[in-house]
Structure 1
Amino acid sequence: MPHIQDLWSRKFWQLTGRKVDLEGRERWLDAPVSRSPRVSTEWLEAEAARHGGVLGAEDPRAGLLPTMAALDGPGFDAALLHPDIRDFYEHTAAWQMEVWTGWSPLFWPAGELVSRLWGRRVEQLALPMRPLDVARGMDSRVTPIRDSRDAQVAAAWTRTLRGDGRPVFSGAYSARTLPGAARPSVHVAFPLESGNVQVFLRPSVLADGGFLLESPSGRFGEDGAYVVVRDRGAHAARVPLHETFHMYVDAHGVLRTDHELRVWAAPAVRLHYKLERAS
């Protein structure tokens, strides 16, 4: 039975979004959805079947992207990235992480309300609200999704809190080119019941070999965040959520990432990741 909050949420996005053709002009927004209110691993099998393939076998060296060269194009050359950054994206399952989180006092109450009423219940996009939530670290599992030719079309990345095993999120990661764009973006889709949240992140290589991903403000059809609802037709809305990921190797040779989530221009939450190869 659908939860009343989820029904109202879908109706809101139907009213505020635009009708889209996910098999035609807006195929770039075609992404996995959940068939149930609680987001489980069911969407992984469904997504593999949709591409005519199967889930990849459990691989301790699976990556979010089969190769960072998938992002190559005018203004981006994966060969210029620091080797550790490239290794993380191509062999994500071989890395472990420690996480620190800090919410803006202005957005903490809203974040806590969304987490309690929605994120923890559906087990999706349940960002940690307190520093101690992530004190014991975060576990992750990467599962390749392959097509009928055994090519990786996406990778499912599932993260859980190590302290209590509570799911944080699960998403499908791939390289995808937006309409009229000169090069691919990093595409992340977070399945929800009868819809999803999607983010298109523009990649850049920094002078020191660092990696920058941004979902800036812009027009519909450009890099940014979108909500898609599949209920009596498909509707999509661009939302004012903007993210920046700065991945770099510090002076001690440690791989780190600074992650900032903004609502319009106002910082809502900052996360910091320390990344190390798993023993």
Structure 2
Amino acid sequence: MTTQPPHASGANGAAIDLQHVTIAYHRRVVCDDISLSVAAGSFTVLVGANGCGKSTLLKAVAGTVPVAAGTVTVEGRPRRAWGRRELARRVGLLPQSNVAPEGILVRDLVARGRHPYRSALQRWSRADDSAVDEALAATGLTAVADEAVDRLSGGQRQRAWLAMLLAQRSEIMLLDEPTTYLDIAHQHELLELLGRLHAEGRTIVAVLHDLNQAARYASDVLVVAGGRVVAAGRPAEVLTAQVVEEAFGVRCRVGTDPVSGTPVFFTESVPGAGG
């Protein structure tokens, strides 16, 4: 894939910085007074129980939900100061749920990732073709590029959406549960791909449910509970039995993966579960 330009960051080395951010939907507070930083060039994973505000935080960074209070800064610049297309060239969001237009071909879906670089009068360019071809190759979809998206398997469809994000060539990639609909093999392939992108200098921020995957692939972890960040740092330092119980309400034992050397989690009990 094309080598990315050096990543930009704010004065504190952060690609993303949130200070005292509150987000509410229909007067219900989803995220309350959150402050966090995502280091430029990191592979940061957000973990936490369903409904704790992880997805909302990604949308706030991408500019798709309003912020009731506080500031969101991207590469040292307030989010509100970015133009819509300009921000999309720096920040790409893969939402949790996506619906492709009926009958659209894989290549045409991926090509939509080039939208931030084009105006109504601008013609399709070789650079656009290259970006699409590279994204298809990176996600293993070249052979089905001319197939209809709605004829693909769930895993292939998810990779097609990821390819669209890759074609956008945003320096910061936000992915909300990207392993959804993927079997174990394809989850591994996707996370390995994200790891390679991270190694090339991209800033990756992903919501994952699997703590073992988060511990294995993330350089940094943010644990969210009750609309607040309750722990942040390196996986081995942050993902302790105490933090997991606080965030998920389950007791677990923490061991060491014999292959990767990263933490691995074994659930002991789920409060309220009948036997």
TM-score normalised per structure 2 = 0.28
Indicate the structure with greater helix content: 2
Indicate the structure with greater strand content: 1
TM-score normalised per structure 1 = 0.28
